[in-house]
Amino acid sequence: DTAVSQTPKYLVTQMGNDKSIKCEQNLGHDTMYWYKQDSKKFLKIMFSYNNKELIINETVPNRFSPKSPDKAHLNLHINSLELGDSAVYFCASSPPGQGGEKLFFGSGTQLSVL
């Protein structure tokens, strides 16, 4: 199946732990993103990579570090997890030449920090 896939779907962890979320797309897209959706459903961009290069870095704590080993993968590592990090994290990608447009989203990772 052609898609944006992210793992895990659910992540429950204790405060202070370090965790990673993985994302892969097989759509041949150049640009990938991480979005955060809070409990009120508000969607906000965190990071954007184009061909493995960071192009958008919103005001996100340094504890969040994205890594793009190749243009088909964008992982998100979170250090020292806090209660406020609980949210649904979406990976997305967009076609070549259409950065910022026509986003294809993964199904999300629901992170719960206890």
- Which residues of the shown chain bind another protein in the complex (CB under 8 A)? 4, 31, 40-45, 48, 50, 55-56, 90, 92, 98-108
Name the minimum Å distance from CB 103 to another protein: 7
Round to whole Å and give the CA distance between 51 and 65: 17
Round to whole Å and give the CA distance between 37 and 21: 15
By C-beta, is 44 or 63 nearer to another protein? 44
Q: What is the CA radius of gyration of the chain?
A: 13
Name the minimum Å distance from CB 54 to another protein: 11
By C-beta, is 31 or 75 nearer to another protein? 31
Round to whole Å and give the CA distance between 93 and 101: 9
Name the minimum Å distance from CB 16 to another protein: 28
Contact 89, 73 (CB under 8 A): no
